[in-house]
Amino acid sequence: MKVENDKLKSTKEAKVTTLRKELDRLNRENDKLKEHKTLSETERRRLSRLEHQAEVNTQKRMEEIKKLVLKGQTLDLAFLVDATGSMQVYSLTVLKEKCNQHE
Amino acid sequence: MKCDASWTEFNILVDVDWLCCVQSIINMVKEQIKEMAAGVGKAYPDVKLRVAFVAYRDYEDDLVTERCEFTDHLSTFIKALSELHAIGGGDAGEDVFSGLQGIASLNWTSQNRLLFHIADAPCHGRRFHNGVSDEFPRGDMHGRRIEDLLSSLRTDCKITKYFFCHLNKSTERWCKSSRTLMLKLVIGFSTNSFPTSTKFHMLW
């Protein structure tokens, strides 16, 4: 009877030991998973930051291009005009000269 | 007037209507300038246009130059232009150099910069004309050099295109000399590589 009891006891202890080991393993796995989850969030935050930076850079570049386009659409138009008395003569003279050239 | 534009470059060909009517050349020129300025504004409504003019006479005149600084108000420009009168001049040669200096002193800021020069007489100096009456046959009385003035317009003012409008034959030699000088000095191209117009001559 005593021998049987000892046998049962040792079996029970062995089972408890196995269960404890299993529990320890699961705890370690859980810790690893928790750690992995934390890393992913960090990575996500980093990616998010990069995406935001890229968006800011794109906006900045678009502004630069817009400025360049607007700058390209500016025109300074200047006239240098002879304003001496000879310019007061009537254009009929010019017209005659032109006609003579074609004759 | 015909206009072709790309993003950053404007090519404007102007055909002066010589048969416009019997009016003084200066009035005809004024009308054409107004039409050109307004025409560019209409053809390119998105373009931020600024207009200016410099008028020149001769050494002995009270007002050797008159100017209207660049303005984006066409009405201001037109008003100033309307007040311009053709007087003085004396001999056939004129003080073109002061006019060019006036152009160089304008406040050029835009990306595209065009200059239209309209004249019926050359500048002083025998080398610029074929024997018109000239009291200063040796050239400018102040010793200014056309090379320096044109170079300044091209490199300092960064004028994209310089068109010269011939009203008669007397300016042909001036224009040709200036163009050759300019091409040699700044651009270094052959004169044959540039298209020319019968009325408007492109200096560069």
For the stretch B145-162, pLDDT in tens is 988 898 889 889 999 888
- Interchain CB distance below 8 Å, B114 and A76: yes
Dmax of chain A from CA atoms? 146
| Chain B touched by A99 (CB under 8 Å) | no
Report chain B's C-alpha Rg in angstroms.
16
| Nearest-CB residue to B22 (from A83, A84, A90) | A90
- Asked whether residue B120 is assigned to any structural domain, the reply reads yes
Strand partners, B13: B2
User: pLDDT tens-digit profile of B48-93?
Assistant: 899 999 999 999 898 899 999 999 998 899 888 888 888 887 888 8
Integer Cα distance of A12 and A32 in angstroms: 30
List the end-to-end C-alpha distance of chain B, in Å, as a whole number.
20
| Residue whose tokens read 């810790």 | A31
The CA–CA distances, whole Å, from B36 to A3, A25, B33, B72, B114 equal 120, 88, 5, 14, 12
Integer Cα distance of B188 and B190 in angstroms: 7
**DSSP label at residue A32:** H
Integer Cα distance of A80 and B102 in angstroms: 9
Q: What are phi and psi of B137, to 5 degrees?
A: -65, -20
What does the pLDDT read at residue A94?
A: 55
What does the pLDDT read at residue B53?
A: 93
Residue A103 pLDDT more than 70?
no
Tell me which chain B residues have a C-beta less than 8 angstroms from the C-beta of A73.
7, 44, 46-48, 111
| Chain B touched by A80 (CB under 8 Å) | yes
- Return the HEC string of B95-134: CHHHHHHHHHCCCCCCCEEEEEEEECCCECCHHHCCCCCC
Residue A15 pLDDT more than 70?
yes
What does the pLDDT read at residue B165?
A: 83
Residue B9 pLDDT more than 70?
no
Number of domains in chain B: 1
Integer Cα distance of B2 and B11 in angstroms: 9
Instruction: Tell me the H-state helices in chain B.
Output: 25-43, 74-82, 96-104, 146-151, 172-182
Question: Bigger pLDDT: A36 or B122?
Answer: B122
What does the pLDDT read at residue B172?
A: 85
What does the pLDDT read at residue B185?
A: 58
| Chain B touched by A89 (CB under 8 Å) | yes
Q: B 143-202 residues with CB below 8 A of A?
A: 159, 167-168
Model's pTM, two decimal places?
0.68
pLDDT band with cut points at 50, 70 and 90 for residue B33: confident
User: pLDDT tens-digit profile of A67-101?
Assistant: 888 878 899 999 999 988 888 775 555 555 555 55
- Asked whether residue B180 is assigned to any structural domain, the reply reads yes
pLDDT band with cut points at 50, 70 and 90 for residue B102: very high
Q: A 31-70 residues with CB below 8 A of B?
A: 69-70
Tell me which chain A residues have a C-beta less than 8 angstroms from the C-beta of B118.
79-82
User: pLDDT tens-digit profile of B104-140?
Assistant: 999 999 989 999 888 888 999 988 888 888 899 998 9
- Model ipTM? 0.82
Tell me which chain B residues have a C-beta less than 8 angstroms from the C-beta of A79.
33, 51-54, 115-118
pLDDT band with cut points at 50, 70 and 90 for residue B18: very low
Residue B142 pLDDT more than 90?
yes
What does the pLDDT read at residue B3?
A: 40
**DSSP label at residue B186:** I
Question: Bigger pLDDT: B68 or B190?
Answer: B68
- Asked whether residue B13 is assigned to any structural domain, the reply reads no
Residue B10 pLDDT more than 70?
no
CATH of residue B65's domain is 3.40.50.410
Domain positions in chain A: 2-74
Q: Structural domain of residue B171, as residue ranges?
A: 22-202
| Chain A touched by B119 (CB under 8 Å) | yes
Edge to edge, the sheet with strand B65-71 lists: B65-71, B48-56, A74-82, B112-119, B161-166, B200-202
**DSSP label at residue B152:** I
C-beta separation of B118 from B29 below 8 A: yes
pLDDT band with cut points at 50, 70 and 90 for residue B46: confident
| Residue B162 host element (H or E) | strand B161-166
Among A75, A98, A101, A102, most B C-beta atoms within 10 A, so best to mutate, is: A75
